[in-house]
């Protein structure tokens, strides 16, 4: 009899532990099913002349059974802005999200993202693809990638950085690739002369696409940072390793 009671207790315990979650948790999970979605999740804006603004409009839908708040809207760089029509969506409602990309200092295929986080921390992301055409008139512009909103990507991340690798990741990788293998801009791993590389980074090429990064040229890097950056780049082999 005692064995039977113990076995029955175990069965009841297992049945309870594997049963349905508390009603409140079940309801919460059901309400959040679907969540916010972009429509569409990616757009191709085709060719845009450098210096022009490229704009797209996304629909953001609330596919859940409860209201959701567009708590945080994040574009990864200062050149991209995003503005929603409204920030609180009732169940099943939608709003427009207007996204604008400033193409100054860009060339070739460009891919930008914008993300929305709801009040529960869930994030959705949409993408914009643009092919930026060269605008020779921009060479006479007094504008720099170190000015205005562009500074958020090309100046601020380098502040207080001292190691070559971290300086590179802060302000170079976005154009020259994660390991200097080349991306929007040419690879740096095939330049093995430290003096040439230092001059190129410090003084620039005379183009708005590659201005001088030395502080006396309006850039963010002091002499110690430049040396550390060049030493790290020279330490890489031709595969960026």
147 plus 62 within the same structural domain: no
Q: What is the CATH number of the domain that holds 76?
A: 2.60.40.10
4-60 per-position pLDDT tens digit = 334 334 333 333 333 333 343 333 333 445 799 999 999 999 999 998 999 999 999
Q: Which residue range is the domain that position 78 belongs to?
A: 36-135
Query: Smallest Cα–Cα separation from 220: which of 235, 207, 231, 204?
Result: 204
Segments of the chain with pLDDT less than 70: 1-33, 237-241
Residues 82 and 98 in one domain: yes
Q: Are residues 92 and 157 located together in one domain of the fold?
A: no
Determine the pLDDT at residue 147: 85
pLDDT score of 36: 97
Query: Is the domain of 152 the same as that of 224?
Result: yes
Residues with Cβ < 8 Å from 115, sequence gap 6 or more? 73, 74, 75, 123, 124, 125, 126
**Are residues 96 and 128 located together in one domain of the fold?**
yes
In a domain, 106, yes or no: yes
């Amino acid at each position: 009899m005692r064995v039977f009671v113990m076995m029955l207790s175990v069965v009841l315990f297992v049945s309870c532990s594997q049963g349905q979650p508390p009603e409140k948790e079940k309801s919460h999970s059901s309400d959040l099913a679907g969540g916010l979605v972009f429509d569409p999740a990616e757009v191709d804006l085709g060719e845009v002349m450098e210096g022009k603004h490229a704009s797209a409009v996304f629909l953001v839908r609330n596919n859940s059974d409860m209201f959701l708040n567009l708590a945080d809207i994040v574009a990864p760089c200062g050149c991209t802005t995003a503005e929603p029509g409204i920030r609180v969506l009732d169940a099943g409602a939608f709003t427009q999200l207007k996204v604008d990309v400033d193409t100054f200092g860009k060339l070739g295929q460009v891919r930008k993202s914008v993300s929305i986080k709801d009040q529960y921390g869930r994030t959705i992301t949409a993408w914009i693809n643009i092919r930026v055409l060269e605008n020779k008139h921009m060479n006479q512009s007094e504008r720099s990638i170190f000015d205005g909103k562009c500074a958020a990507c090309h100046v601020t991340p380098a502040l207080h950085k001292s190691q070559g690798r971290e300086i590179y990741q802060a302000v170079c990788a976005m154009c020259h690739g994660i390991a200097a293998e080349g991306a929007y801009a040419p690879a740096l791993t095939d330049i093995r002369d430290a003096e040439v590389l230092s001059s190129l980074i410090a003084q620039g090429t005379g183009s708005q696409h590659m201005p001088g990064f030395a502080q006396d040229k309006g850039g963010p890097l002091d002499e110690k940072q430049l040396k550390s950056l060049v030493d790290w780049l020279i330490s890489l082999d031709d595969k960026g390793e």
